Amino acid sequence: MFDGPLNHSIIGRAQDKGIIETDVHNLRKWTHDKHQVTDDYPYGGGSGMVMKAEPFFEAVDELREKNKGAKVVLMTPQGEPFCDAKARKLAKLPGLIILCGRYEGVDERVRLIADMEISIGDYVLTGGELPAMVLIDAVARLNPGVVKEAESTAKDSHAENLLEHPHYTRPPEFMGKKVPDVLLSGDHGKIEKWRREQSIIRTAERRPDLITRANLTNSEKELARRVTEKNHD
């Protein structure tokens, strides 16, 4: 499951250059029975299977020795919601050991070895692999050199609790829709002002919960207020 996302495009090139490194481990490596079983029936009955604690503990013990300072992340729908601010904090760490559950989840005692629990949303997937890949992609691209233009990540949606402004490219007119004149003006001051205003408008329209946390000037707050009131009319 991890081969495509981790070995192609931007993340793949970053690994080829040695900027980041990812290693995928099969939990069965840390089992000791003939069939390499990593799950079992839940105590108390009920449907589904539960991931056993022992393989996780042994895996983390070994991986911590090889990755000094790495923090252990358990991917779980019950974890702290993942966001841009969390990704930026994780990007500053020396390494991450990401645990992926499956089936009905993991034995409760696995939480004892996790430094943090993270959720990518209020829904349940068949396993923690896809959430782990989301986390890896979001965190890896924040490392210097992974994304060619560092400014791209600094102005991403959510970087300042604002959604990113609209983007346009050629042709200048498509299906009767024209690129805003300001973007063709060559006036960088006006372009930056327009982009900032569009970010505020878009955030106020689509994510009013974010706009209250953004660092805005008084005039920008007034712009956001007018947009919000218009949406409520």
Query: Using N-to-C axis directions, what is the helix angle for 218-232 and 188-206, rounded to 10°?
Result: 40
| 39 tagged catalytic | no
Phi, psi for residue 81 in degrees, rounded to 5: -60, 135
Which residue in 104, 137, 197, 205 is the catalytic one?
104
| 180 tagged catalytic | no
The two three-digit tokens of residue 177, written as one number: 């829709």
Which residue in 42, 54, 62, 77 is the catalytic one?
77
Which residue in 141, 160, 202, 220 is the catalytic one?
141
Q: How far is CA 3 from the centre of its chain?
A: 18
Instruction: Please list, in sequence order, all residues whose beta carbon lies within 8 angstroms of the beta carbon of residue 90, skipping any fewer than 6 positions away.
Output: 71, 73, 96, 135, 139
Check if the beta carbon of residue 95 is closer than 8 Å to that of residue 67.
Answer: yes
Which residue in 156, 160, 196, 202 is the catalytic one?
156
Which positions are annotated as active-site residues? Answer: 77, 104, 141, 156
